[in-house]
Amino acid sequence: MQFSKLWIPLLVLITVGGCAGRTDGRAACGSLIDQGWKELDIAKAEGFSGTVSYAKAASRLAAANGQQVIDRFPSCINKAKRARVYIAASRAGN
- 6-17 pLDDT per residue, tens: 555 545 555 544
Taking only the tens place, the pLDDT of each residue in 25-83 is 899 999 999 999 999 999 888 888 778 888 999 999 999 999 999 999 999 999 999 99
At 41 the pLDDT is 92
Residue at 52: amino acid letter: V
More confident: 90 or 34: 34
Domain ranges of the chain: 25-91
The dihedrals phi and psi of 79, each to the nearest 5 degrees, come to: -65, -40
- For position 49, what pLDDT does the model report? 76
The pLDDT of residue 16 is: 44
Is 70 exceeded by the pLDDT of residue 3? no
pLDDT of residue 17: 47
User: Could you give the CA distance from residue 79 to residue 72 in angstroms, rounded to a whole number?
Assistant: 11
Q: Can you give the pLDDT at residue 78?
A: 96
